[in-house]
Amino acid sequence: MNILITGSNGQLGNEMRVLSKQHPKHMYWFTDVVELEDTYVLDITDAKAVGLFVASKGIDLIVNCAAYTNVDKAEEDEVTAQKINADALGVLGSQGVKVIHVSTDYVFSGEEHLPCRETDPAAPRTAYGRTKYEGEKLLLAECPDAVILRTAWLYSTYGNNFVKTMIRLGKEKEQLGVVFDQIGTPTYAADLAQAIFTVIETKMWHPGIYHFTNEGVCSWYDFTLAIHELAGITSCKVHPILSEEYTYKTPRPHYSVLDKSKFKKTFDVEIPHWMDGLRRCVEELKIKN
Ligand SMILES: NC(=O)c1ccc[n+]([C@@H]2O[C@H](COP(=O)([O-])OP(=O)(O)OC[C@H]3O[C@@H](n4cnc5c(N)ncnc54)[C@H](OP(=O)(O)O)[C@@H]3O)[C@@H](O)[C@H]2O)c1
């Protein structure tokens, strides 16, 4: 297949690039708004450019890793977030090819007390969540047999993320307060990329919305303790704090655990625990640094 990967300079896009080496039977077209080595320029909000690219390369499948992911900035500039997270999905969905798209736990209110299923009603509370949910709907309207994977708490050795920030702060500071009243599941982007390849390689195409994170649950506080332990940081004392003690520009979900039963059953796979994903990521960071 000819596979177009959008947003390939981001966390997930880079992990797709790494994993693609294990699937050499496909031809990959890595694209982003910024040109890097082995990356073509393609702005997913540019309908004409997307149409030309898909037609000229004979694309069979689009894997959309592009997004406006800054939750606080999206609140201030919902117009741009809407273009990238929502309107562009109508463009990608109307190309007459298969689409795998990545969405978010932010489509839910975050006030639940049980893991969210795909059938639970969406109730986004932020501009980011609203635009991502709108993108899901626009994509499915154009391309009803698309696959949408909702994920959460994504991190990788690429880009900026919570794991890298906590390693840096752990080395710089003697004390750190981290919230313990927000619960979710950290997800290694390499494991999400693996899930995308599972969807691609499974003989039958199974359209629909799925939830995919690593297994298990924790708070950001527990996550930080694990990061520091694996990174060998002992000089920083981490304190649990309440969300109200931290200044957030945008409300954060208190409970955003996703139920992955549908993905595991449909694709007959086991998913690694978040600690396992974190261990592999921290080891990889040690090799890179
Ligand atoms: N990060 C998380 O914690 C998290 C949680 C749940 C779901 N997700 C979802 O998971 C997916 C992957 O996230 P990620 O963390 O890998 O994102 P990321 O690191 O922010 O990567 C997104 C990439 O898309 C690019 N991009 C932005 N606008 C574009 C456009 N108009 N056309 C083409 N590319 C564009 C970005 O470029 P610039 O950086 O130059 O803008 C960036 O390289 C996204 O759909 C996101 O919504 C993420």
* Nearest residue to 95 via CA among 38, 56, 149: 56
Other CB atoms within a 10 A radius of the CB of residue 256 amount to 25
* Nearest residue to 219 via CA among 175, 166, 169, 285: 166
pLDDT tens for each residue of 41-100: 999 999 999 999 999 999 999 999 999 999 999 999 999 999 999 999 999 999 999 999
- pLDDT < 50 regions, the chain: none
User: Judging by beta carbons within 10 Å of its beta carbon (0-12, 13-18, 19+), is residue 123 exposed, middle or buried?
Assistant: middle
Instruction: Check which CATH number belongs to the domain holding 204 and give it.
Output: 3.40.50.720
| Domain assignment present for 277 | no
CA 40 to each of CA 22, 29, 70, 158, 269: distance values in angstroms, whole numbers, following the listed order: 21, 7, 23, 19, 33
Cβ < 6 Å from ligand 1: which residues? 6-7, 9-13, 32-34, 43-45, 65-69, 84, 102, 104, 132, 151-154, 159
For residue 84, the model assigns a pLDDT of: 98
Nearest-CA residue for ligand 1 atom 18 is 10
| Domain assignment present for 29 | yes
Question: What range defines the domain where residue 261 resides?
Answer: 2-160+186-214+257-271
155 is catalytic: no
| Domain assignment present for 39 | yes
Nearest-CA residue for ligand 1 atom 48 is 154
Among the atoms of ligand 1, which is closest to the Cα of residue 105? Answer: 6
- Among left, alpha and beta (phi > 0; psi -120 to 50; other), residue 216 is left
5, 29, 33: residue to mutate for ligand 1 pocket, most atoms within 8 A of CB? 33
Tell me which of 128, 155, 158, 221 is the catalytic residue: 128
Nearest-CA residue for ligand 1 atom 30 is 43
| Domain assignment present for 226 | no
For residue 98, the model assigns a pLDDT of: 98
User: How many domains is the chain built from?
Assistant: 1
| Domain assignment present for 237 | no
| Domain assignment present for 248 | no
User: Judging by beta carbons within 10 Å of its beta carbon (0-12, 13-18, 19+), is residue 177 exposed, middle or buried?
Assistant: middle
| Domain assignment present for 137 | yes
| Domain assignment present for 286 | no
